[in-house]
Amino acid sequence: MSNKKIDLLISGHFTSVANRIRAYNCKNNFYKTKIIGIAHGHNWIWDEPYNEIAEYEYSDYYLSYGKPRNINSKVLQKLFYKTQIIGSSCDIIKKIKDQDYKIDLSDKELSEIKFLYVPREYQVNGYLPHHMSDQNYNLWHKILFEKFTDYNVTIKLHPKRKSLKHDSFFSKKFILEKEIKIEKIFNKYDVLIFDTLTSALTKTIATNKPIIFFNIHERKTSINVMKILKKRVIYNDMHKIQNFKISKIKFKPKYYLNDEFINRYSLYKNKKRSSTLFELINKI
């Protein structure tokens, strides 16, 4: 790539080696190209130096999600360049939040409730960003589904999965949801189940749908994330799975309206993300 005439580089996440090489070449050329890094996903909640250093090091400005937050002091000490964090809104989350989704479980027996389990993708190679191997993740699934043996559970697999291991493992006992975009099937299911802080979970949090969340302790989040998440979901710890009983849960609609999570980590100033980006470009 020729970068002699590049004044501004706008790039996706810098965990991509190709993106880092382009940014390095631009940042070290004679013209001192300015770089805007764009956060991946639909929120920015992580406290993971191996991700954050790469994201911040190559960015003069980092277009994050939600309210801008300070960079972790330990990460900041390792950066040669100081990036400016820019808060912004996720347009998809805003659109989902503004819609109404049907929820009426008051007259339904547990056997009638439609559950949707949404696992993360398999790692295939290595253990990052998730710290549980594919084999152990499947072991967790076997333990988890013992708690849902007598209930109507469908599986929604990751749309960009790198392997068909998911399909072969889950299809032996469960129906697989064919729709790729989770936002298109919210009204099809009553309760959604997650065990990882994924984009799909963030989208679901933006609805008024009941969510059962199992913390499997794979990734480190920034301070207060779990505390705020617990206000929105029916929270469970994987280490206490033996005590979990679906029959003890009372699905009260008013409980599921807390939007503190998306207001802090996905939305900012009620402004389109593109508008925030254009304003930033004009200031540079």
Instruction: Classify 83 as helix, strand or coil.
Output: coil
Instruction: Classify 110 as helix, strand or coil.
Output: helix
CA angle 225, 280, 11 (to 5 degrees): 70
Q: What pLDDT, on the 0 to 100 scale, is given for residue 266?
A: 95
**Residue 164: half-sphere exposure toward Cβ, Cα within 13 Å:** 2
The tokens describing 44, both together, are 């920015």
CA-wise closest residue to 195 among 173, 171, 212: 212
d(CA 36, CA 279): 12
Q: What is the mean pLDDT of the chain?
A: 87
- The DSSP code sequence of 173-211 is TSEEP--S-GGGSGGG-SEEEESS--HHHHHHHTSS--E
pTM: predicted TM-score of the whole model, two decimal places: 0.89
Mean pLDDT, residues 65-78: 89
Q: What pLDDT, on the 0 to 100 scale, is given for residue 125?
A: 57
Q: What pLDDT, on the 0 to 100 scale, is given for residue 3?
A: 46
Confidence of residue 162 (pLDDT cuts 50, 70, 90): low
Q: Are 277 and 63 in contact (CB under 8 A)?
A: yes
Tens digits of per-residue pLDDT, 207-216? 989 999 999 9
d(CA 60, CA 84): 6
Whether 124 shows a pLDDT value over 80: the answer reads no
d(CA 184, CA 33): 40
Mean pLDDT, residues 167-173: 77
Tens digits of per-residue pLDDT, 8-57? 999 998 888 899 898 888 887 766 789 999 998 888 888 888 888 888 98
Sheet holding 211-215, edge to edge: 175-176, 152-155, 114-117, 191-194, 211-215, 234-237
> Terminal CA-to-CA distance of the chain, rounded, Å?
23
Length of the chain: 284
Mean pLDDT, residues 70-90: 90
